[in-house]
Chain A
Amino acid sequence: MTTDVVQTPRSSRLLEIALRVRRANMALVLVLALLVGLTIGAFLIIVTTPSLVHSWATFFSHPGATISQNFNTVWFAYEQLFEGSLFNFHAMRLLLDHPNKANLANALGPISLTLQDATPLIVAGLGLAIGFRSNLFDIGGQGQVIAGGLIAGLIGFSLNLTPILQVSFELVAAMIAGALLASLAGVLKAYTGAHEVIVTMMSNYIMVLLMGYLLITNLFARPGVKDGASKAVTPTGQLPYFFSHLSSGLLVNVGFLIALAAVFVVQWFFNRSKTGFELLMVGQNGEAARTAGINAKRTTIITLCLAGALCGLAGMLELTGVDHFLSPNFGGSYGFDAITVALLGRNRPWGVFFGAIFFGAMYAGGEAMQAFTPTNIQYSLAQVIQAVVVFCVATPALIVEIFRLTDNGRFRSTGSSGGWTK
């Protein structure tokens, strides 16, 4: 039995407060996770920066200098991480002193980059969360993102309609494409029992290679040039930027609003819709769902179609909002990062939303960290630090354990497979 024996309350009020603080809640766990991640990251920065490693040679003669040098470097790197992703104080002050377009654009830069990176992750993360809630592990996010991107691209550069029509057309087609690809896994799972993890994962390879092939066919390649980059989406097929009048560098676009809308829709879907409830039932107890007259096969297919549709949408948003043309590494690691985002957000729509924003911030901040630190932090190190922080945030059970928080098993369950759905 792992049930903790209830702490016998003592009269001390201080102890009571301490106990209350120790009780794990999401905010506390997140803050502590960030702290642990950044501490490990700091260690990594120190051991990989030659000048800092050397500084420890003089630790016994000038301990103050050594510590301050190390601290300053780490602090500066993290400052970049923060300023590159959320809020740049210098740019803000400049804006307040000289309010003009250029300064406003600079101040908005970091947050724009974060949201731009987060947009496809929000949507794909929501898609995968739908699957996870129903105990279906759609690992094919990458392939479905590509499917959405390919169709959106095809419509994007071959048509020239009114913007609203063309964008809607792209959006619907991309969702259908993603859904169709995922439905393959759904149908196979429902009627033959083929495991969706294998089918969706294999579909990733197929889609990556199919895209590689399509990009050198005349259908996608620019006339006469076969370098792997496709034609560009016509301006009428692109999602409008929010701040194009300020600067051409602010790429946050209408896609973010679409992603936000998707959060509300999925929220409604889980809380209020019948299908959402059925899907939850099938995920939690398939046999009971069947006994209650729910067609589990149909639900499985619908679930994977919805997951695929949202991943397809993510591909469309990325292509028509940011990239505007396809290249062989289109989609990047969105399909896989979305898995982490979904788990990070505990498969709750708003959890996924903030998880994606966190990921976007780490992308954006990581770039800034390696670009601006004088100590030459490698981009790969920035990614390692990013990964360490994500690791800590994604494993609340570890944090609860490290800090010996009392949690009644709330966070610990994430480790088991049950954690995927809860």
Chain B
Amino acid sequence: MKLELRAVTKHFGSLAANENVDLIVEPGQIHGLLGENGAGKTTLMNVLYGMITPDSGQLLINDEVVDIRDPKDAVTHKIGMVHQHFMLIPVFTVADNIILGSEPVKPWPFIDHRSATERIIALAKEYNFHIDPSATIENLPIGQQQRVEILKALSHDAEILILDEPTAVLTPQEADALMVIMRTLKSQGKSIIFITHKLKEVLEIADVITVMRLGQVVGTTTPAETNEAALATMMVGRDVNLVVEKPPANPGEVVLDVTNLFVQDDRGLTAVKGVSFEVRAGEILAFAGVQGNGQTELVEALTGLRRATAGSVLLNGTELVGRSVRDVLNAGVGHVPEDRQRHGLVLTLSIADNLVLDQLDSPQYKSWSGRKLKAIQENGKKRIAEYDIRAQGEDEPLSALSGGNQQKVVMARELSRELKVLICAQPTRGLDVGSIEFMHRQIVAIRDEGVAVVIVSSELDEVIALGDRVAVLYDGMIQDVVAPTTSREDFGLLMAGSRPAVTGATL
């Protein structure tokens, strides 16, 4: 099936989310759609999937103009979409999720589960998916859940699949498996629109790459004609330094000394099982690992948000376990939380207020007569300039900022305190190339100032780029601490819980 978008324009108020966008997807093509956050990729796909009505423009399928007003129309026209955040019901089985919305009823009003299951098994076989239709979604790993989403789209006879940032949530192995699936689908004549901002992947799999910036198509190219640097430049509109420039670390005294730490998760299960490590001043210890292997709990325990059940966290010899969050922060621990919108910022408050969120007691911002509004504002102005935060002004509510700029606010705030340790969880999650470059430079700079840095990231590239040493977390334990030069395969194996004979030096 051939799909063509012609001159799609969509404005939100004065913002041009899409401006005269043309896109052609040939049958059996994997079309990479690349762009920074806010470049208009998602808007375009939502137009295609009928969730947004464009101001103008045409949609052609097999060279015929069609009108898609809602997702139902899109499905009838054989367009399927796999959203970044899965639209699955966790307590339902795979089969139930797939038939949801088009349940086979026979005899009315009973759902014919048997024929549904048979159909799904047949479908899975056709595309070489290994999936158990009777499994409950919440018990499946993310990669499998994604397959269910894809299968669901295929069960509606989709000819074109839109995959919105499909690899963002996957382990390297799962991502590889997804690539295989995509190739299988392609060989069956399906077209795929692959939205991403990961340059490596798009170069690896796409037949054609379209790059968007500020709502417009900047160019269309093929992997053969381009490379990472050129794509990054197209995306950002300037030259981007993809590799963090990092002089070798100059580790000093041990600042953070964690021994035999045990932490429980919300359900009372032990999530961190006896973790021990040290971080020295002026070095970056990066934690690699698939999400959900105790990273969140570890970070919360280090920052005082969650009480460790056993073990100790010494900061320059002072015990932090059992102290309040306030005390931990005051002791010199900086924290860039994993989910900035939920834990790091108050979106309704102004930028200036968010920049002092954890410094309300500082004499700089508080006197006997209350908060020093002027000083807070001045600080806001200063940081906005210093960190190049793109905003109308310091009084603007934080919700008006893009993800990258929001993260800059968090980073600016934490770095404006006197720090001994900086703990960054997923520092660049969901950020675009330009912002990632900025964040990485900041992190390396603070390391070189002699702060001990802990990075937790599910992004292997990031871990390798930033870490002076890399600890791999698996099932709440440190599988190994290795050099960042370790091969990707070995990292993958470590992250999956096996212990390869790591070729690099074990540190």
Give Cα A272–Cα B360 distance, bound, in whole angstroms. Answer: 11
Tell which of B325, B345, B360 touches A274, judged by Cβ atoms closer than 8 Å.
B360
Name which residue of chain A comes closest to B359, CB basis: A292
Task: Flag the segment in B204-212, B222-230, B308-316, B335-343 that touches A.
Answer: B335-343
Residues of B within 8 A of A272 (CB): 369-371, 373
Residues of A within 8 A of B326 (CB): 293-295
A-B contact sample (4 more), CB < 8 A, given A6-B14, A280-B349: A5-B55, A272-B370, A285-B345, A295-B324
A214 CB to nearest B CB, Å: 40
Give Cα A335–Cα B70 distance, bound, in whole angstroms. Answer: 47
Interface string of A263-298 (1 = CB under 8 A from B): 000001001111001101100110111111111000
Tell me which residues from 299 to 324 in chain B have a Cβ below 8 Å from any Cβ of chain A. Answer: 303, 305, 324
Q: Is the CB of A293 within 8 A of B358?
A: yes
Tell me which residues from 46 to 89 in chain B have a Cβ below 8 Å from any Cβ of chain A. Answer: 52, 55
A26: interface (CB < 8 Å): no
Tell which of B12, B328, B348, B358 touches A422, judged by Cβ atoms closer than 8 Å.
B348
Tell which of A277, A288, A290 touches B360, judged by Cβ atoms closer than 8 Å.
A277
Tell which of A5, A268, A281, A422 touches B357, judged by Cβ atoms closer than 8 Å.
A281
B395: interface (CB < 8 Å): no
Count of inter-chain pairs, beta carbons less than 8 A: 80
- Given known contacts A5-B11, A274-B360, A274-B361, is B343 in contact with A291 (CB within 8 Å)? yes
Residues of A within 8 A of B353 (CB): 277
Residues of B within 8 A of A11 (CB): none
Give Cα A273–Cα B199 distance, bound, in whole angstroms. Answer: 48
A406 CB to nearest B CB, Å: 12
A17: interface (CB < 8 Å): no
Q: Is the CB of B371 within 8 A of A288?
A: no
25 contacts between A and B (CB under 8 A): A1-B12, A5-B55, A271-B373, A272-B373, A273-B371, A274-B371, A277-B371, A281-B349, A284-B346, A284-B348, A284-B349, A285-B342, A285-B348, A288-B344, A288-B346, A288-B357, A290-B305, A290-B325, A291-B344, A293-B324, A293-B326, A293-B328, A293-B330, A294-B360, A422-B348
Residues of A within 8 A of B358 (CB): 291-293
B6: interface (CB < 8 Å): no
Q: Is the CB of A291 within 8 A of B52?
A: no
Tell me which residues from 283 to 330 in chain A have a Cβ below 8 Å from any Cβ of chain B. Answer: 284-285, 287-295
A3: interface (CB < 8 Å): yes
Residues of A within 8 A of B346 (CB): 281, 284-285, 288-289
Interface string of A387-422 (1 = CB under 8 A from B): 000000000000000000000000000000000011
Q: Is the CB of B349 within 8 A of A291?
A: no
B9 CB to nearest A CB, Å: 12
Give Cα A278–Cα B353 distance, bound, in whole angstroms. Answer: 11
Q: Is the CB of B357 within 8 A of A1?
A: no
Give Cα A290–Cα B306 distance, bound, in whole angstroms. Answer: 11
B57 CB to nearest A CB, Å: 15
B306 CB to nearest A CB, Å: 11
- Given known contacts A274-B366, A278-B360, A295-B326, is B373 in contact with A288 (CB within 8 Å)? no
Interface centre among A271, A273, A277, A290 (most CB of B within 10 A): A277
7 tightest A-B contacts by CB? A272-B370, A292-B358, A293-B326, A293-B325, A291-B343, A292-B357, A285-B346
Tell which of B303, B325, B347, B373 touches A285, judged by Cβ atoms closer than 8 Å.
B347
Interface string of A5-42 (1 = CB under 8 A from B): 11000000000000000000000000000000000000
Give Cα A292–Cα B328 distance, bound, in whole angstroms. Answer: 10
Q: How large is the interface on A (under 10, 10 to 19, 20 to 34, 35 or more residues)?
A: 20 to 34
Number of interface residues of B (CB under 8 A): 34
Give Cα A247–Cα B4 distance, bound, in whole angstroms. Answer: 84
Residues of A within 8 A of B347 (CB): 284-285
B329: interface (CB < 8 Å): yes
Interface string of B344-382 (1 = CB under 8 A from A): 111111000100011011000010011101000000000
Give Cα A113–Cα B323 distance, bound, in whole angstroms. Answer: 55
Give Cα A405–Cα B366 distance, bound, in whole angstroms. Answer: 42
Q: Is the CB of A288 within 8 A of B343?
A: yes
Residues of A within 8 A of B349 (CB): 280-281, 284
A316 CB to nearest B CB, Å: 26
Q: Is the CB of B360 within 8 A of A1?
A: no
B13: interface (CB < 8 Å): yes
Interface centre among A1, A4, A288, A290 (most CB of B within 10 A): A288
Residues of A within 8 A of B55 (CB): 5
Give Cα A314–Cα B370 distance, bound, in whole angstroms. Answer: 26
Give Cα A5–Cα B16 distance, bound, in whole angstroms. Answer: 12
Give Cα A217–Cα B325 distance, bound, in whole angstroms. Answer: 50
Q: Is the CB of A6 within 8 A of B13?
A: yes
Residues of B within 8 A of A281 (CB): 346, 349, 357
Q: Is the CB of B370 within 8 A of A268?
A: yes
Interface centre among A3, A287, A289, A290 (most CB of B within 10 A): A287
- Given known contacts A291-B325, A291-B335, is B366 in contact with A6 (CB within 8 Å)? no
Give Cα A66–Cα B55 distance, bound, in whole angstroms. Answer: 52
Give Cα A290–Cα B339 distance, bound, in whole angstroms. Answer: 13
B62 CB to nearest A CB, Å: 29
Give Cα A268–Cα B342 distance, bound, in whole angstroms. Answer: 28
Name which residue of chain A comes closest to B373, CB basis: A272
Name which residue of chain A comes closest to B55, CB basis: A5
Residues of A within 8 A of B330 (CB): 293
